[in-house]
Amino acid sequence: MTNQIGDDDIEQLVTEAVNVETTPSVGPSLVGDLLTGELDSWRVVICVVEKDGDDLLVRGENGQVVDRVDTDVWTTSALSETEVKDLAKIADKINSAIASEHGEL
């Protein structure tokens, strides 16, 4: 008995790993890294997410803008004057744009 993985098994694992509809591609920590400039951009399947001023852009495979996510809209109310961005909501919006682009292919 062997524990080797065949080509069909690898293909299935890769397909499951890039299934945008069932696997969130962008999480809150990644959004934070993009907004603070820790990352310039992030590739997800066929899309690239990058910062453009206060917005995050989702670009498709040809570089066209699929969605522009206005991060100022997604702020949480706080007791102090400091606004805290709701990174989870921003990530959800980005994942939705990526899933939509992936679905059109």
Report pLDDT digits (tens) over 66-94.
999 999 887 776 666 667 889 999 999 99
What does the block give as tokens for 78? Answer: 């706080």
Residue 13 confidence (pLDDT): 43
Is residue 103 helix, strand or coil?
A: helix
Residue 19 confidence (pLDDT): 52
Residue 14 confidence (pLDDT): 44
What are the angstrom distances between the C-alpha of 45 and each of 8, 49, 85? Answer: 20, 11, 25
Phi then psi dihedrals of residue 68, to 5 deg: -115, 115
Dihedral sign (CA 75, 36, 54, 94): negative
Model confidence pLDDT, tens digit, residues 18-44: 454 445 589 999 999 999 999 999 998
> What pTM value is reported for the model?
0.71
Who has greater pLDDT, 82 or 9? 82
pLDDT at position 104 over 80: no
